[in-house]
Structure formats: structure tokens, C-alpha cells
Amino acid sequence: MKYSEQKQQRAPESRLVPRVAWSASMGLAAYWTYLYFSQTKHIFSPSIKHHDLLTQHAHEFTELRLQVAPGVELEGWVRMPAGMGGAGSKAPCAIYFGGRSEDVRWLLNEAQGFKNLPLVFFNYRGYGNSKGTPIEKNLVADARAIYKWVAEQPWCDRNQISVIGRSLGTGVAMQLAASTPVHKLVLFTPYDSLINIAKKKVPLAPVSLLLRSKFNSQACAVNVHNPTFVLLAENDQVIPHDSSLRLMQNFAVKPLVATVKGTDHVSLPHDADAQGLVSHFLAA
């Protein structure tokens, strides 16, 4: 009789375990499905907020529109320092690729630290007034189209086109530098791979299978042979320093590295000292 009672007590428990496991599996599956279909928002978080523009430097900038695909037009600007861009003159120039949620028009107010050369910057697809949807393959294709456009300009020395990437944009800049004759490369807070960053943020998800935009800069580094300058924030709460260090170990040519005191992930590119270091590197 006692055995029969114990058996009856265990029966509900034995049925409960599979139900809990099934519920947990369904919960994970739902979570993974959510991550897959919402990843564009989480990875790129396109900015449509426009910065207030100052007027004292307006004469240095020209607004651009570049069609990169049927029905897809990017908004951008070129900053031409005083005395450059005259008839028959060609100068070294740089292309800037922004970070996550970054409307690059902030450079209209704060690009003066990137002095001594023309600076070209476009908003990614879906950012600002640029059309389209951001995804890795599109952003990299657009970067190549921007590079080609810059190389064709009469004021540009096509043999001295440098590339600047910030945070998410370092993944774009790395792929461009690995496949294009970039003169110099500047990376603000770079990462080794978006997969590795995502694994730490969502450890319960198979991110290598879910991510459509992987930005594997580590795989590109071996094909980057041009001089490279890496800038790190003293206090970076977004890109761990060990991720940047892992990337730097894979470059074909050892990069120059500087950690800028008093900066964090957001403030670093705006810092006057950081911009001065970049200008010095590009002009050397």
C-alpha cells in the first residue's frame, strides 16, 4: 500500500518535468525569433534625429546626394578646408563611417579638428534622410560606392584616400580597407567581431546563426596592409578593450594605438585631442 501511494505521488512530478522543459524550450524559441526579426533595430538603431546646425562653418560644407542602388539615395556632405579644392589642385582626403545610432551631420559642427584635408561623410541607409534599410552587405557595398565617387572627384588625390571608422563603422571601414587601396585607416573603438560582442550581451542565444550582420573585422585584419591608427576611450562601456586588442593582434601591419584620457565610448570622436591625433596621423 505504501509503495502504491509513493508511485502516485511521483507520477505528477514525472509529468511536470517534461512540461517545464517544453515551456522553457518554447520560451527560448520565441526569444530567438524575436531577436532574429528585430536585429536591425538592435544592431543599427537608425538615427533620424537631426542635430542643430551652426552657421559659422557653413561655407566649408557642400551637401551631397549619392544614388547607391535603384531607389536608394544617401545624404552626405564634403567639408573642404579653406584654400583647398581649387581648379587643378588635388589633395589627400578622408571618408568617415559613423557608429550605431549616429547621425553624421554632427560633423557639420565639430569637424574642424579633422583639419588639413577634405572630409566626406554620408548617413547610412535608414539614417537621417538616407533611404533604404541598413544591413551589413548593403553598408559595405555603399562604402565601396562612396570610395569610388570620392576617387573620381577633381579635388581628390585618388592615391591618398584614407578611411575613418567609428564603433559600428569600424566594421565597414575594415572591410573597405581589406579590399580597396586605402591610404591610411583610423579606427575609433573597434571590435573584433559583432558575433563576439553579441555573445556577451545575449549569452542564451545562438548569435552566430541568428545574426545577418556579423561584421567579422578580425577576419579582415590580415588583409589590411596600410598604416592604421586605433583610438580607444579611457572608459568604454560599450566595446570592451579586450575586443579591440584581439582585433589588433591580427593586423598584417601592427597598428599605432592611443588611449585618450577622460573619454568614453560616446565622447571620444568629439574630443579635440582625439581629432588632433587623427589629423596628425593622416597628415604625416
Predicted pLDDT at 89: 81
Main-chain dihedrals φ then ψ at residue 191, nearest 5 degrees = -130, 160
Residues 128/148, Cβ–Cβ less than 8 Å: no
What ranges do the domains of the chain cover?
1-43, 47-283
Q: How high does pLDDT run on average in the chain?
A: 85
Q: What is the pLDDT of residues 236-280, one digit of tens each?
A: 999 999 999 999 999 999 999 999 999 999 999 999 999 999 999
- Which single residue is written with the C-alpha cell 572591410? 175
Q: How far apart are CA 260 and CA 240, in angstroms?
A: 15
Q: What is the pTM of this model?
A: 0.85
Mean local confidence (pLDDT), 2-28:
53
- Fold of the CATH domain 47-283: Rossmann fold (3.40.50)
Report residue 184 CA to chain centroid gap.
17
Report CA-CA distances (Å) from 7 to 13, 17, 20, 67. Answer: 10, 16, 20, 73
When pLDDT is averaged across residues 27-36 and rounded to a whole number, the result is 49
162 within 8 A of 185, measured Cβ to Cβ: yes
Residue 77 has pLDDT above 60, yes or no: yes
Q: Give residue 18's pLDDT.
A: 64
Q: Answer yes or no: are the C-beta atoms of 225 and 252 closer than 8 Å.
A: yes
- Mean pLDDT over 127-135 rounds to 93
Q: What is the pLDDT of residues 188-220, one digit of tens each?
A: 999 999 888 877 766 656 666 667 778 999 999
**Is the confidence at residue 102, as pLDDT, over 80?**
yes
pLDDT at res. 160: 96
Q: Tell me what pLDDT residue 211 has.
A: 74
* pLDDT (mean) for 74-98: 88
Report pLDDT for 25.
53
Would you state the pLDDT for residue 284?
87
> Residue 159: its pLDDT value, please?
96
Confidence of residue 46 (pLDDT cuts 50, 70, 90): confident
For helices 241-248 and 194-201, give the axis angle rounded to 10 degrees.
Answer: 160
